[in-house]
Amino acid sequence: MSSSDAWIPYRHPQPAESPPELIVPDAIPKDERVWVPVGDRVWFRPLLLCASRGYWMNLLKVQSAGVLSRHRHPQPVHGYVIKGRWRYLEHDWVANEGGYVYEAPGETHTLVVDPDVTEMITMFQVNGAMIYVDPDGNVTGYDDVFTRIEKCRRHYTANGLGAGYVDQFIR
């Protein structure tokens, strides 16, 4: 880029159909009420709930050791471990603090947090759905971006943030 136009911003409108960008200044929230409980000392924090494309970005926080869930992924998942450590019973690798994880479509696995981990926080991009299964793969439940939106709405209604609080994360 020549020096004369390097600092000139793009001077045309963005496409009309392009949704507004989303900036979350405190991904790890200062207000604890933003964490949505989904189990015993297990929470998620929505970052982007992409209803139009069927995926979501969130932080998962776990402060209890044990099995979180056994699930199948119809589509890929990307994870970045911000704090702590976790692993899958089906694999010998460990997702350590600072690590990146790619989970392949078709994978069924069982997420565990070991007893010496006091807190685990991981950012996940989950595409499509989490399909919860028993050890034989029989479906016991699911989550998708719509169940996540519903869980947020219910929690924020109950804790005073308000039903509309979740809307800022939806695209």
Sheet (strand 55-62) strand order: 36-39, 42-50, 55-62, 120-127, 77-83, 100-103
Neighbours of 68 (CB within 10 A): 19
| DSSP assigned state of 158 | H
Q: Single out the segment in contact with Fe ion by CB under 5 A; choices: 25-33, 52-60, 102-110, 137-145.
A: 102-110
Of 60-68, 99-107, 115-123, 150-158, which part binds Fe ion (CB under 5 A)?
Answer: 99-107
Count of residues near Fe ion by CB under 5 A: 1
Q: CA 133, CA 146: separation in Å to the nearest integer?
A: 19
Shortest Cβ distance from residue 54 to Fe ion (Å)? 17
Cβ nearer to Fe ion, comparing 103 with 156: 103
Query: Judged by CB under 5 A, which stretch of 20-28, 61-69, 100-108, 156-164 contacts Fe ion?
Result: 100-108
Residue appearing with tokens 């308000």: 162
Minimum Å gap between C-beta 34 and Fe ion is 23
Nearest-angstrom CA–CA distance, 115 and 93: 17
Shortest Å, Cβ 23 to Fe ion: 27
Please, are residues 100 and 77 in contact by the beta-carbon 8 Å criterion? no
The least distance separating Fe ion from the CB of residue 166, rounded to whole angstroms, comes to 23
Which residues from 51-90 bind Fe ion, rule CB under 5 A? Answer: none
Chain contacts with Fe ion (rule: CB under 5 A): 103
